[in-house]
Amino acid sequence: MNSWRLLVHCADRQGLVHRVTGVLFRSGCNVLVNHEFADLETGRFFMRTEFVGDIDPQPILEQTRRELPDDADVRLLQPHKPRVVTLVSREHHCLADLLVRHVFNELPATVSAVISNHPVLQDFTGKFSVPFHCVSHEGLSRADHESKLLAALKPYQPDYLVLAKYMRVLSPDFVRRYPGRIVNIHHSFLPAFAGARPYHQAFQRGVKVIGATAHIVTDDLDAGPIIVQEVMPVDHSHSPQDLARAGRDVEQLALAKALRLLFEDRVFLNGNRTVIFD
Amino acid sequence: MNSWRLLVHCADRQGLVHRVTGVLFRSGCNVLVNHEFADLETGRFFMRTEFVGDIDPQPILEQTRRELPDDADVRLLQPHKPRVVTLVSREHHCLADLLVRHVFNELPATVSAVISNHPVLQDFTGKFSVPFHCVSHEGLSRADHESKLLAALKPYQPDYLVLAKYMRVLSPDFVRRYPGRIVNIHHSFLPAFAGARPYHQAFQRGVKVIGATAHIVTDDLDAGPIIVQEVMPVDHSHSPQDLARAGRDVEQLALAKALRLLFEDRVFLNGNRTVIFD
Amino acid sequence: MNSWRLLVHCADRQGLVHRVTGVLFRSGCNVLVNHEFADLETGRFFMRTEFVGDIDPQPILEQTRRELPDDADVRLLQPHKPRVVTLVSREHHCLADLLVRHVFNELPATVSAVISNHPVLQDFTGKFSVPFHCVSHEGLSRADHESKLLAALKPYQPDYLVLAKYMRVLSPDFVRRYPGRIVNIHHSFLPAFAGARPYHQAFQRGVKVIGATAHIVTDDLDAGPIIVQEVMPVDHSHSPQDLARAGRDVEQLALAKALRLLFEDRVFLNGNRTVIFD
Amino acid sequence: MNSWRLLVHCADRQGLVHRVTGVLFRSGCNVLVNHEFADLETGRFFMRTEFVGDIDPQPILEQTRRELPDDADVRLLQPHKPRVVTLVSREHHCLADLLVRHVFNELPATVSAVISNHPVLQDFTGKFSVPFHCVSHEGLSRADHESKLLAALKPYQPDYLVLAKYMRVLSPDFVRRYPGRIVNIHHSFLPAFAGARPYHQAFQRGVKVIGATAHIVTDDLDAGPIIVQEVMPVDHSHSPQDLARAGRDVEQLALAKALRLLFEDRVFLNGNRTVIFD
């Protein structure tokens, strides 16, 4: 018996759960976990079902589609390991967490390569037998730098790009190549302190809690759909440097949680918001 | 169109979600929210469905039962306000929170009366036009005191008893009269510091986090199914009195959350654990 | 032996702790708790000392001032109960929490009166024997409404104004009458979602954590020094109304914490930030 | 100008802060941060001062001791990197976090070696150029195994032993060799679920929050002074395996926080509790 994930996103209407579970029931599948959500504001329906069954996926997909509205986005997947390329700059903590989980098979994905605009993390990446490419942005226009990035990415055909403290802004053109497939960790509790130097902004504002936000990258900087936010208390004794140091732990944690959710197909986009089944 | 809640608890088997949602679909009901959980360890299935429909409940109930295993516990309810009697001793904070929510119609229940073994909270309860009965335990055996309590409770026919810092242990005989229907707030992060004076125990042990636990009362003191646990950080500068003062906020919060879950029929018992659909 | 609090704020320089504690030591005082903080960025020094001693305060104050830079702000207080007037609009939860703590002597302050621009909370306030004044803003300019507010406030001579969900913006002229003495609870995790309808903003942005901020009111709306921030996790199933309901608990908690800190003289202003000794 | 830490622990009496800061003031030192705590229950006094100054430490130490009760424990240290040996078994996550921080110079300590009773983490440790010793317990009495451990430890002369998921109990004889210098991470919110298989215990009890505890190891298993506790919410859908997986993140975080506090000399023992200046 194989394990499967059925993912449905469509306009809401009566009886969708009954219809979809009917297809699985008639095929002799055994549902392990089922999540559904109907957004009453937008009229959208989301469903994620884990089941085991000795099935031929194509007829199941077709039968499911016949039960759903025409606009339905339906996917039927076996647990798989998406291919991931990680973009970094100089900071190591999120990358290190990813590589450790990768090397111990804790990440439901394969880290195919690390690409950076700086060479400093090359040796560290090498310890984990993951290819490292330095694509410097020095002296290049953004368009030229991104062309080089795309060339470096091409052989890996990544399912997802993970920006693990990659400190450069990606152009809309670049983002459009990986729609809904680029994840970023921003070192603030968005929408507070979007943009540069969020810990300095947080210090200046005198906040008592700092945070980190893992989100899908869209054209609009720091405004994409949020997957995970983590927070921690701080006080007047924290300098901007203390905030940055303490914040690294929540950045790392937020990104790790978001990646698990994403790679296990638990994240649905609902306009600029997310529906997450965990 | 009326609002309904369908609650199902039975042995797990294939197709239960499909079967139950089929009854509702064929009756023209519109499911708003659906939660289900199959416990793979115990083989039990739990489901809670909120729907709207212009239905006759009796046939729906019968049709649902026909789709389910014989052991199935099925309930079909309209949103209702259970009758609650609150038992207290001397501390006011959890009672005050309940009465404020009651008077502003924020509690999905009706506080029918307050019963205490001390008179100190009588005036305060009176401000909220809720009957207060003092049933002193002084000079009485536990059996005699509980007989008096039962007599005081009788006219109110409560659906639930809420122990809002009631500092006496109830006998198994008493508890059996309200099976699964007595909620207690214990001022520790159970199972740590069960029994008396948990904040003194927490101080002696030097913990860095304290908590409060809202749970269903069973024969076994402080060992019943847990509904909600809330925690807060503390440090070496907290005396036992400081812990008790700080702890009152989490006690109040944990109890309030648990009561909302319970009164909205979101809590299922699964042996000595709970399944909570929120 | 009486209890005292010595509060110092001045330019930082070498030996301040030694000098101040020397005054107390030579006077035979017994220091119970001592906090100090030197802000290396701004060069400001803050100190709060709790001590017991059978002292004459005036000479102690003078001796302390002689040991400190000329700009020093020094206060020597016995534990006291500041007079507080609470401003509210229609929402009851923060007010109810305040009044309950007031009536049980848990608040280190006296709630002298409640003033509202709506009559709805009059009956509730009356239960606690606290005067209630309705000062409607209907048909009045902001200046005229504030004149009426000031007239209503005058007989109470409040040390602090607590805005417990008071939904109108106060003018700079009004704020200047109570410099550093007006506390507000804003229903978002500032600086995110400043301004109106923060829960709707939070819903639209799809955040995974919401919060509340208790802060000192300054001329600049929602930008004053932050005392306490509290947060709670939310998910895609929360409507704006659910966020608002859930948020009330953190609003209430954040305001209660901030008031305890403020009324116990634990909050120092450091530009637009706070130093908090707890 | 050098940086120094002055650490004081003694019986409490009047004027201690004044006396100690006087020594530093007269020596022309500049205090950066000062923490003190007088435990009114036990009558013990604790103080930690960070200062800069061009001093000869021996006279400062002697002058400080002359100002303090005879029982005073006084230490005057420059920021240093204690030597640490890490003991592990099969689980990698806490070790990996330590080694990553070590290799990026984020840990205020030097990881001299890793010792394990299993060989599985040898290759991973090797990536970080840290010596790894496998000291198997198979076929050995506890005394014999510990003799071998002590022999392996000897050349490193560690200041601290870090038990990073070392799954064997150390004998009192062994513990006494490193009094107050062995740190353990226990995978529960102690004192709940002391002993073996805490996540299974937590699952059976149906708790809604799990935790991890970093503590000093004493003769009494899982009962030593607590440095840090971290918690996270869980629900009915978590199997024991899910709890264990989720728990690894809080274990890693709690241990990392505890080690920073310990290695920066911020942890004082106060009987079986800790005083922590952060």
Torsions phi, psi of D160, nearest 5? -135, 145
Q: How far apart are CA D273 and CA D218, in angstroms?
A: 12
Q: Is the pLDDT of residue A131 over 90?
A: yes
Q: How far apart are CA D35 and CA D43, in angstroms?
A: 17
Indicate which of C208, C220, C255 best probes the interface with A, i.e. most A CBs within 10 Å of its own CB.
C208
pLDDT of res. B228: 98
Torsion of the alpha carbons at C168, C172, C178 and C181, rounded to the nearest 10: 60
pLDDT of res. C260: 96
pLDDT of res. D221: 83
Assign residue A63 a region (left: φ > 0; alpha: ψ between -120 and 50; beta: otherwise). Answer: alpha
pLDDT of res. B273: 97
pLDDT in tens, C14-52: 999 999 999 999 999 999 999 999 998 899 999 999 999
pLDDT in tens, C221-252: 899 999 999 999 999 999 999 999 999 999 99
pLDDT of res. B225: 98
Cβ neighbours of B31 in A, within 8 Å: 14, 17, 38
* Chains linked to C by 3 or more Cβ pairs within 8 Å: A, B, D
Query: Does B222 participate in catalysis according to the annotation?
Result: yes
Cβ neighbours of C208 in A, within 8 Å: 226-229
pLDDT of res. B196: 85
Average pLDDT of the residues in A109-119: 98
State whether residue C1 is helix, strand or coil: coil
pLDDT in tens, B71-130: 999 999 999 999 999 999 999 999 999 999 999 999 999 999 999 999 999 999 999 999
Q: Do C18 and D14 touch (CB under 8 A)?
A: no
Cβ neighbours of B15 in A, within 8 Å: 21, 25
Longest dimension (CA), chain C: 63
Count of residues in chain D: 278
The nearest alpha carbon in chain C to A188 belongs to: C192
Q: Is C36 an interface residue toward D (CB < 8 Å)?
A: yes
Q: Is B191 an interface residue toward D (CB < 8 Å)?
A: yes
The nearest alpha carbon in chain B to D227 belongs to: B208
State whether residue C153 is helix, strand or coil: helix
> Tell me, which fold does domain C3-77 have in CATH?
Alpha-Beta Plaits (3.30.70)
For chain C, counts of helices (H) and of strands (E): 8, 13
Whether omega before B191 lies within 30 degrees of 0, making that bond cis, reads: yes
Of C25, C36, C40, the CB nearest to D15: C25
Indicate which of B35, B121, B124, B248 best probes the interface with C, i.e. most C CBs within 10 Å of its own CB.
B124
- Give chain C's mean pLDDT: 96
pLDDT of res. B221: 83
Torsions phi, psi of A223, nearest 5? -120, 10
Cβ neighbours of C211 in A, within 8 Å: 209
Residues in chain B, pLDDT under 50:
none
Q: Do C128 and B124 touch (CB under 8 A)?
A: no
Question: Strand D44-53 vs strand D2-11: parallel, antiparallel, or unpaired?
Answer: antiparallel
State whether residue D183 is helix, strand or coil: strand
pLDDT of res. D21: 96
Q: Is A49 an interface residue toward C (CB < 8 Å)?
A: no
pLDDT of res. A196: 86
pLDDT of res. D196: 86
Paired tokens of A41: 């504001």
Give yes or no for a contact between A250 and C228, defined as CB atoms under 8 angstroms apart: no
Give yes or no for a contact between B205 and B197, defined as CB atoms under 8 angstroms apart: no
Side chain identity, residue A259:
L
Question: In chain C, which among 118-157 make CB contacts under 8 A with chain B?
Answer: 124, 127-128
State whether residue C133 is helix, strand or coil: strand
Q: Using alpha carbons, list the distances in angstroms from residue D59 to A169, C16, D62, D77.
A: 56, 22, 5, 13
Mean pLDDT in consecutive groups of 10 residues from the start of chain D, 278 residues: 95 95 95 93 95 95 96 95 97 97 95 98 97 98 98 98 97 96 94 90 95 95 95 95 94 97 97 96
Q: Using alpha carbons, list the distances in angstroms from residue B233 to A252, B136, B210, B236, C277.
A: 22, 36, 6, 11, 16
Give yes or no for a contact between B216 and B227, defined as CB atoms under 8 angstroms apart: yes
Of A21, A32, A33, the CB nearest to B18: A21
Helix (H) or strand (E) holding C6: strand C2-11
The nearest alpha carbon in chain C to A224 belongs to: C205
- Residues contacting C122, CB < 8 A, separation 6+: C116, C132, C134
**Delimiting residues of CATH 3.40.50.170 domain(s) in chain B:** 83-276
Q: Is D243 an interface residue toward B (CB < 8 Å)?
A: no
pLDDT of res. C1: 78
Indicate which of C93, C122, C130 best probes the interface with B, i.e. most B CBs within 10 Å of its own CB.
C93
Catalytic residue among A97, A159, A222, A265: A222
**Delimiting residues of CATH 3.30.70.260 domain(s) in chain A:** 3-77
C196 — pLDDT class (breaks 50, 70, 90): confident
Other C-beta atoms closer than 10 Å to the C-beta of B207 total 27
Helix (H) or strand (E) holding D258: helix D240-263
Of C189, C192, C208, the CB nearest to A228: C208
State whether residue D20 is helix, strand or coil: helix
Paired tokens of D86: 């890490």
Paired tokens of A206: 């005198």
* Chains linked to B by 3 or more Cβ pairs within 8 Å: A, C, D
Cβ neighbours of B37 in D, within 8 Å: 236-237
Of A14, A25, A33, the CB nearest to B25: A14
Output b/e per residue, C8-31; b: 16+ Cβ within 10 A: bbbebeebbbbbbbbbbbeeebbb
The nearest alpha carbon in chain B to A27 belongs to: B15
Average pLDDT of the residues in A116-137: 98
pLDDT of res. B220: 87
pLDDT of res. D1: 78
Q: How far apart are CA C210 and CA C233, in angstroms?
A: 6
The stretches of D137-231 forming alpha helices (DSSP H) are 142-153, 172-176, 198-205
Q: How far apart are CA A248 and CA A76, in angstroms?
A: 36
Q: Do A93 and D100 touch (CB under 8 A)?
A: yes
Average pLDDT of the residues in A38-64: 95
Short-list D89, D88, D123, CA closest to D98:
D88
Paired tokens of D219: 């003769």
pTM of this prediction?
0.96
State whether residue D137 is helix, strand or coil: coil
Q: Using alpha carbons, list the distances in angstroms from residue B269 to B272, C231, C252.
A: 7, 30, 31
Other C-beta atoms closer than 10 Å to the C-beta of A175 total 20
Catalytic residue among C222, C235, C242, C265: C222
Q: How far apart are CA C58 and CA C23, in angstroms?
A: 12
Q: How far apart are CA A98 and CA A254, in angstroms?
A: 12
The residue ranges of DSSP E strands in chain D, in sequence order, are 2-11, 30-39, 44-53, 73-77, 83-88, 110-116, 132-134, 160-163, 182-186, 209-216, 226-233, 267-270, 273-276
Q: Percent of chain A beyond pLDDT 90?
A: 95
Query: DSSP labels for chain A?
Result: -EEEEEEEEEE--TTHHHHHHHHHHHTT-EEEEEEEEEETTTTEEEEEEEEEE---HHHHHHHHHHHS-TT-EEEEE-S---EEEEEE-S--HHHHHHHHHHHTT-SSSEEEEEEESSSTTHHHHHTTT--EEE---TT--HHHHHHHHHHHHGGG--SEEEESS--SPPPHHHHHTSTT-EEEEESSSTTTT-SS-HHHHHHHHT-SEEEEEEEE--SSTT-SPEEEEEEEE--TT--HHHHHHHHHHHHHHHHHHHHHHHHTT-EEEETTEEEE--
Architecture of the domain made up of B83-276: 3-Layer(aba) Sandwich (3.40)
Torsions phi, psi of B174, nearest 5? -65, -50
Q: Is A253 an interface residue toward D (CB < 8 Å)?
A: yes
Cβ neighbours of A32 in B, within 8 Å: 38, 40
Whether omega before D191 lies within 30 degrees of 0, making that bond cis, reads: yes
Question: Strand B160-163 vs strand B182-186: parallel, antiparallel, or unpaired?
Answer: parallel
Average pLDDT of the residues in A254-271: 97
Short-list C266, C258, C271, C265, CA closest to C213:
C258
Size of interface C-D (CB pairs under 8 A): 41
Model ipTM value: 0.94
Count of residues in chain C: 278
pLDDT in tens, C80-139: 999 999 999 999 999 999 999 999 999 999 999 999 999 999 999 999 999 999 999 999
The residue ranges of DSSP E strands in C157-247, in sequence order, are 160-163, 182-186, 209-216, 226-233
A1 — pLDDT class (breaks 50, 70, 90): confident
pLDDT in tens, C126-140: 999 999 999 999 999
Cβ neighbours of D46 in C, within 8 Å: none
Q: How far apart are CA A31 and CA A24, in angstroms?
A: 8
Average pLDDT of the residues in C201-219: 96
Give yes or no for a contact between D109 and D160, defined as CB atoms under 8 angstroms apart: yes
